Amino acid sequence: MRTRILSYLIALVCAAGGATAWAQTKEFPARPVRVVVPVPPGGSLDVMARIVSPKWGELMGQNVIIDYRPGANTIVGSELVARSPADGYTLLINTLPFVVNPSLYPKMPFDTERDFAPVSLLGSSPFVLVVHPSVPAKSVKELIALAKAQPGKLNYSSAGNGSNLHVAAELFKNLTGTNIVHVPYGGGGPALIAILNGEAGVSFLSLVAVTGHVANGRMRALGITSARRSKVMPQLPSIAEQGVPGYEFGAWFGVYAPAATPAPLIRTLNDAITRALRDPGVAERFDKEGAEIVGSSPDGLAKHVKAELALWAKVVKSAGLRID
């Protein structure tokens, strides 16, 4: 008798849980969804968020609001999301620092895998090695020769210690044996501005962010960080094909929710994102910015994050990078 009662109670609890999940899915979202961008406006992460969010919101029937929370190489904004209610209304979009930071910092305020629920990959984008027009280098080989002839005279801007731009440049320096001084800024936008106004001579900036500035002559592109040339700048050779074999670097962008977010809500968010990525208008914007649409299931992003954490742990260790 007791066993039958217990079985009945368990069935009731399971049914109630299923009903709650169904109700959450039917009612969600009932208000605007906030997407935290953990960097200042102007960089590739910001551009990706602004491309996808209008169509994403349209498909969910609610606005997707971008909330900029920069600081500490994306840690400030990421921690905010990790500590937010797991109701699907506060999400994070992040890029390489999400998987590089755990190897760079001796202590993190959250666990990249344990404290977040992956939603979907968005896309990927290479970087471009650019110089201010005053730098007398027209190719990667000329830049390497200049840097070796004047060690420590050239400087490069980055989005901050441990950022994509920092790691891209340090990898370049490591492979070329050059001494170019690091000048960290508070995000990709400020790092780009530093090149435009001549505060910095060199930088690795996202293809998404530099296409217009290169076209109007405000900066000079020397090479692309991907293994293959981009269809946006087909005339621009890769860094690897200009005498730096093995050099390859790029950014990818993913969306995450707080860890305890119910699976039905994750599925709703993922469905809207992947549908938005199939929209011709969104695809056209990606092409224009030189980015590639990826998209994924939540499990696909989880596996990608795990693999990237292992990869960057090895890269950071071999390069001797560390932030105290």
Helix (H) or strand (E) holding 311: helix 298-319
Q: Could you give the domains of the chain?
A: 30-124+251-318 (3.40.190.150), 126-242 (3.40.190.10)
- % of the chain with per-residue pLDDT over 70: 91
In the predicted structure, residue 85 carries a pLDDT above the cut 80? yes
Q: Residue 7 — very low, low, confident or very high, per pLDDT cuts 50/70/90?
A: low
Contact 77, 70 (CB under 8 A): yes
Whole-number Cα distances in Å, 121 to 254, 270, 274? 4, 9, 9
Tokens standing for 195? 């090149």
Reduce the secondary structure of 100-128 to three states and give it as a string.
HHHHHCCCCCCCCCCCEEEEEEEEEEEEE
Distance (Å, rounded) from C-alpha 213 to C-alpha 194?
Answer: 13
Q: Residue 76 — very low, low, confident or very high, per pLDDT cuts 50/70/90?
A: very high
Distance (Å, rounded) from C-alpha 304 to C-alpha 295?
Answer: 12
pLDDT in tens, 19-61: 444 345 568 999 999 999 999 887 788 889 999 999 999 999 9
pLDDT in tens, 252-283: 999 999 999 999 999 999 999 999 999 999 99
Q: What's the mean pLDDT in 90-103? A: 94
In the predicted structure, residue 174 carries a pLDDT above the cut 90? no
